[in-house]
Chain A
Amino acid sequence: MLTTPRLIAIALCAALNFSIGSIVYLIKLPIYLDSIGTILCAVLLYPDRRAAFICAWISGALSLLLSGLLINPFVPWFELTDVAIALFSAFVIATGAETFRARPIRPVAFTTTILLFGISLGVIAALVSAPIVVYLFGGVTGSGSAFVVAFFLKTGQQLLSAAILSGLTAEPIDKTLQVLVAALLFRATPNDFIVMLRTSYDLAAGKDNT
């Protein structure tokens, strides 16, 4: 399953997660944009859903590890959110691969798919992340969304509900943007690369073994 082109795709997507996620973290925006590569990896490997999930999950875990080591010590603890994102990306978002790549683009179908998948992913990510934020860090992490948690705490909310409300406020917008960027990058990816990923391309023999 983990052929060399797929390992390369995992590494590329991890680097993408890390680079965009780090920029957003450093400027303290109340969004994350740190899972674009995870979503993209799943879409690139569709229709092999098992491979899509495993590769997307590894790319997410790798970027969390890199970010944790170099930029933000909070992020590696959100591994469970990464698993949820990889699962949803491989089994739901990736089904929109044809719509994302349709030429010419079908604006209504494209927009509807992005919004539907983005908002759903946002709700899932918010629900999975909230207990980690509350029980491990008392409600506030180093990201910009801490301001939103602080706002809800000031309005008299309890910790868990403030973290969930903050997640439900920021995550659907964040994840819709992430699905949009991943879909547009998927549209821009050369067909040769996608074919190489979706088949069991053997680099050493230089041929397709499917």
Chain B
Amino acid sequence: MPQAKITPNGAVAFALMLIGATMATGKHGLSIVAVLGIAFATLEVRAGTVTALKRSLVLVLPLAAFMLLVWVVIVGRAPADIAAGSVGSRDTALLYVALICTRLFLVVFLIQLIVACFANSTPLRFIGALRVPMTVKRLLMFTLSLVETFRHAIDRAYTALIACGLISRRRSVRNFVNGWVLVQTVWLTAITIVLGRLRDKWPIEDTLGLLDHALRPTARSLSCRDLVWLPIAVVATIAAVAAR
């Protein structure tokens, strides 16, 4: 994996601009965004591009299949045909689905490229390097941490409810009837863990002070690489929107 030379700030700004262009443009503009995305992947991400491509396909292919089912099989007409009141055809519907799915694929691919670009870094370092208010950084870190807490809470609640016979490992009516108890138990478990941290653990260990220290940016906001990619992204965005 190559060392990421673009900074998190530059990468996020680059991705946001291109995602905006992707949503605002038509098929000609999409090709401009795609070319720039490929150039970015080749020069900045390199080997990580394969992983980004795989992940994007995993996310978008089921969506594409679903939209094919709805638009081509069930509706059988494109939105433009419906709006014009014409009979339409499955071919135009297929073209429409292809355009929407290409757009979504580009959005997901750009995000995955940024993820791959910083695959060697940790979420803490990535968020710490961002030039955003400390409250936003704290919130992002809490959310990532609480997603893990939720996972633990689900494991604990699931095991406890199986042990007391309220739910079963297999599919059963009991699971359906007592599913709500599981949701409530997960919520209570998470709240109890959080209360313990807020009242005792964090003040004693000075967790927030340490977190703030860790989240303070040390490196420069933008690197030379950013100053190359960002103007290109601005030009590409304007060209893509104009090509609409």
Contact = CB atoms under 8 A, between A and B. Distances in A.
A5 B139 CA distance: 11
Interface in A69-94: 69, 71-74, 77
B186 to A, nearest CB: 9
Interface stretch (B2-10, B46-54, B143-151, B219-227): B143-151
Contacts of B183: 181, 185
A192 B195 contact: yes
Interface residues of B, number: 47
Given A142-B66, A204-B208, A8 B188 contact: no
Given A159-B83, A190-B195, A204-B208, A62 B111 contact: no
B231 interface: no
Contacts of B23: 77, 136
A71 B59 contact: yes
B137 to A, nearest CB: 11
A159 B139 CA distance: 39
* Chain A, interface SS category: helix
B187 A140 contact: no
A202 B150 CA distance: 24
* Chain B, interface SS category: helix
Contacts, number: 121
A54 B101 CA distance: 34
B79 A146 contact: no
21 contacts: A8-B142, A10-B143, A12-B146, A12-B190, A15-B150, A15-B190, A28-B66, A62-B139, A69-B111, A72-B63, A77-B23, A134-B79, A136-B23, A138-B96, A140-B75, A142-B67, A146-B70, A147-B70, A189-B188, A193-B195, A204-B208
Interface of B: 23, 59-60, 63, 66-67, 70-71, 74-75, 77-79, 82-83, 96, 100, 104, 107-108, 111, 135, 138-139, 142-143, 145-147, 149-150, 180, 183-184, 187-188, 190-192, 194-195, 198-199, 202-203, 208-209
